[in-house]
Chains A and B, each alone.
Chain A
Amino acid sequence: DADVTQTPRNRITKTGKRIMLECSQTKGHDRMYWYRQDPGLGLRLIYYSFDVKDINKGEISDGYSVSRQAQAKFSLSLESAIPNQTALYFCATSVAWDSQETQYFGPGTRLLVL
């Protein structure tokens, strides 16, 4: 089984709809992240969480919200989806020891907002 799973893998929705992307991990990592990837723009950080009670905004948090339901679960919500939120979304996890921090990515969710 994959260590970091994302559901759904693909989603088509309409402008104005609320949607939730879910991420689960079995790696036992404290830190979890949500990124979006767009052609020509690379990976950009939306939100990150260092533990269940810690939520931080990333580079592009506007229009998104997150929930860290448990150590293993981190959800991303689009309250009112808009077309420019069409992108590939990745969840990632990490554990920091010493000064090293390796991130492990899920398979991605491809989102299309019409």
Chain B
Amino acid sequence: QKEVEQDPGPLSVPEGAIVSLNCTYSNSAFQYFMWYRQYSRKGPELLMYTYSSGNKEDGRFTAQVDKSSKYISLFIRDSQPSDSATYLCAKGETGAGSYQLTFGKGTKLSVIP
């Protein structure tokens, strides 16, 4: 079982819709979570970062972590055509000199005008 599971989609929504993107992960001692956005033919760029349970907001974007159910979500309000991209969730773990960052497969989102 891959450590981070993400539905690859594709997901197509009308402009203005609320988008919900989700990932599940396997347990680990210490972890932090990120959402990256990747436009076509570009490298991923960090969108949201959190390492606690609960919600974190940044403009139209909300990242939610539920550690009890090992579920991470990204909500996009008032979606725009410019939000059309692939969204990658990631789980990170660091410890005494060790490192692991695991990405989900990505969900491709299209926002239709």
Contacts and interface: CB of A to CB of B under 8 A. Distances in A.
A48 B45 CA distance: 18
B32 interface: yes
A96 B46 contact: no
Given A43-B88, A105-B43, A99 B32 contact: yes
Contacts of B6: 42
A42 B104 contact: yes
Given A96-B94, A100-B49, A100-B51, A107 B103 contact: no
Interface residues of A, number: 23
A interface secondary structure, majority = strand
Contacts of A79: none
A103 B44 CA distance: 9
B101 A102 contact: no
A40 B99 contact: no
B105 A108 contact: no
A45 B43 contact: no
Interface of A: 4, 40-45, 48, 50, 56, 90, 92, 96, 99-108
